[in-house]
Amino acid sequence: MKFIQDFIALFYPDLCLICDNNMLKHEDCICTSCLYRTPKTDCFKQKENEVNKRFWGRVKLENAASLFIFNKEGNTQKLIHKLKYEDGKSVGVFLGKQLAYAINESDFFNNINFIVPVPLHPKKQKLRGYNQSDYIAKGLSKILKIPINKKSLVRVENTDSQTRKKRFSRWENMMNSFALNNTDKLKNQHILLIDDVVTTGATLEACTHKLQEINGVKISIATIAIA
């Protein structure tokens, strides 16, 4: 079977998702030179970084970091697009692994007990067929050997969205879109909250607020990109 796969790969090698060139056998999703040319943040080198600062005065975090810089028309945007709209499960796992390598190299992302992906709105997940953050978490978990918890933080469906819109601001709506479920395992644990891109940080802020209702919990945040 391995022989047949290698034989097929000889004629139909995988193509890099960014430059469309043939990839080498050890390469996955994107080629080494495209990966090298995707702009990285220096978040994993300094504790007080741009991601951390985005949450100052909003929520208390242990650590926060993003791997790539999201530039319009750039490599990161292409990758995030693949991740979200083109059946990006394998891209998600790949990006999760890259994030894990950065975490392993930093000296302040220690003692994490659980990885929690930001839950997607149920309607969106149904439409997309998957939650991209689940696959990022999968890649992370594989390298970091830290378990994933997908059950404790859930997204609540707003059935009465029209009334909610009238009565609450967007921020309040966001704050009310998450709920907790079976949180015993998370008591006194350090959670790494995962999302694809951090922009305003409202979603991650809302998740952190919710998770901090659990006794003794500590939260860190890691995302693939910062916009």
The footprint of Zn ion (CB under 5 A) covers: 16, 18-19, 31, 34
Min dist CB 16 to Zn ion, Å, is 3
**Per this entry, what is the length of the chain?**
227
Q: Where are the alpha helices (DSSP H) in 15-88?
A: 32-37, 50-54, 75-85
Smaller CB distance to Zn ion: residue 36 or 108?
Answer: 36
Q: Tokens 């950065």 appear where?
A: 102
Min dist CB 119 to Zn ion, Å, is 32
* Nearest of 58, 220, 222 to residue 133 by alpha carbon: 222
Smaller CB distance to Zn ion: residue 16 or 217?
Answer: 16
* Nearest of 51, 70, 87, 90 to residue 205 by alpha carbon: 51
Smaller CB distance to Zn ion: residue 18 or 207?
Answer: 18
Min dist CB 13 to Zn ion, Å, is 12
Smaller CB distance to Zn ion: residue 91 or 191?
Answer: 91
Smaller CB distance to Zn ion: residue 2 or 26?
Answer: 26
Min dist CB 5 to Zn ion, Å, is 22
Burial of 195 (0-12, 13-18, 19+ CB in 10 A): buried
CB distance 44 to 65 below 8 Å: yes
Min dist CB 135 to Zn ion, Å, is 21
Q: Where are the alpha helices (DSSP H) in the chain?
A: 2-11, 32-37, 50-54, 75-85, 89-105, 122-128, 132-144, 161-167, 170-175, 202-211
